[in-house]
């Protein structure tokens, strides 16, 4: 049996419960707003300090970005955005409603899922303490 490629390991990590919790926490802290342009809703969570700490990220290693800012960070051209049919139509975020507004401290992490491993839960607690 051959070892997994780095790309496959990364793909599997992005499907893990640990990553999903870290990503959700980062999005809530960013109030679901792109941290580069501050105009569009965040859709992606980017490893801002490179990929050397993948799996052992610290809170400051992650940045939430809209799709076009994420593409720009990777040196890719922007994706064409659909234009409203008239100026009465607004493009509004679907997540991060009013419940996250007005908080003075970072939100609590989402509750751990029962199937999540103890090691993952402990790693997340250490991760949150570093923020």
- Mean pLDDT over residues 50-70, rounded? 87
Task: Identify the residue whose tokens are 């790693």.
Answer: 123
Q: Helix H segments across 30-117?
A: 67-73
Task: Identify the residue whose tokens are 């991060």.
Answer: 96
pLDDT, tens only, 67-92: 999 999 999 998 876 666 666 666 66
pLDDT, tens only, 5-23: 988 998 999 999 989 999 9
Residue 49 banded pLDDT, cuts 50, 70, 90: confident
Quote the pTM value: 0.61
Give the pLDDT confidence score for residue 105 in this predicted structure: 55
Locate the domains of the chain by residue range. Answer: 6-79+109-129
């Amino acid at each position: 049996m051959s070892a997994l490629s780095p790309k496959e390991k990364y793909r599997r990590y992005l499907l893990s419960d640990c990553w999903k919790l870290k990503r959700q926490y980062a999005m809530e802290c960013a109030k679901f707003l792109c941290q580069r342009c501050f105009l569009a809703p965040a859709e992606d969570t980017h490893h801002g300090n490179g990929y050397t700490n993948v799996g052992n990220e610290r809170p400051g290693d992650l940045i939430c970005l809209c799709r076009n800012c994420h593409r720009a960070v990777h040196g890719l051209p922007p994706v064409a955005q659909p234009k409203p049919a008239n100026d009465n139509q607004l493009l509004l975020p679907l997540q991060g409603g009013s419940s996250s507004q007005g908080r003075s401290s970072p939100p609590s992490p989402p509750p751990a899922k029962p199937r999540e491993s103890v090691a993952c839960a402990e790693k997340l607690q250490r991760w949150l303490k570093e923020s």
